[in-house]
Amino acid sequence: MTKIAIIVGSTRPGRYSEGVARWVLEQASPRDDATFELVDLADYPLPHLDEPIPASAGRYENEHTRRWSQAVAEYDGYIFVTPEYNHSTTGVLKNAIDYLYAEWANKAAGFVSYGVVGGSRAVEHLRLIAAELQLATVRGQVALSFFHDFENFTTLKPEERQHQALTELLDQLVAWSGALAPLRAARSPASA
């Protein structure tokens, strides 16, 4: 069965991303076409990129990199949950993405963002990064606004349209993750 990681893209104290990711998991869990799990970057403390060899070589010297690689490699697709900081994504998410290469390739990704303007600019940057990693991004996206989807700018209360947007994202992500499976299989060591 297709396996999707919901990546909690912030480690900042007081972060909203964990609550947003849990909402995504709650909405996705009843589906029978994939399994969904939270992957919290707080559980994978990665220093600022410290691998001497580029990730595309796939030769990792550090245990924290190997642990992160194993976690990411087991999934067929990803939902990145990201706030918008200074018109982009978080440094910790960008750093975590940069640690790896092949683990992302030929998989699908969707985005759930949040911020004053819904985190859309963070997702724009992530889409460019994903393209370089051969990570196919789906069109469906959830952009949560602090003005409309958070009560008093703190408590997540997504409007009904956000539930519909998430369903569209999940439908596309599961379909694309499955469609890319032959490409992943062709690259796996077992098929060589």
The full set of domains in the chain, from first to last, is: 2-191 (3.40.50.360)
Position 188 confidence tier, pLDDT thresholds 50, 70, 90: low
pLDDT at position 118: 96
Q: Name the pTM for this structure.
A: 0.95
* C-beta of residue 44 within 8 angstroms of C-beta of residue 67: yes
Residue that is written with structure tokens 């018109």 in the block:
87
pLDDT, tens digit (0-9, with 9 covering 90-100), for 92-146: 999 999 999 999 999 999 999 999 999 999 999 999 999 999 999 999 999 999 9
pLDDT at position 191: 42
pLDDT at position 189: 58
Query: Which pair of tokens denotes residue 156?
Result: 């997540």
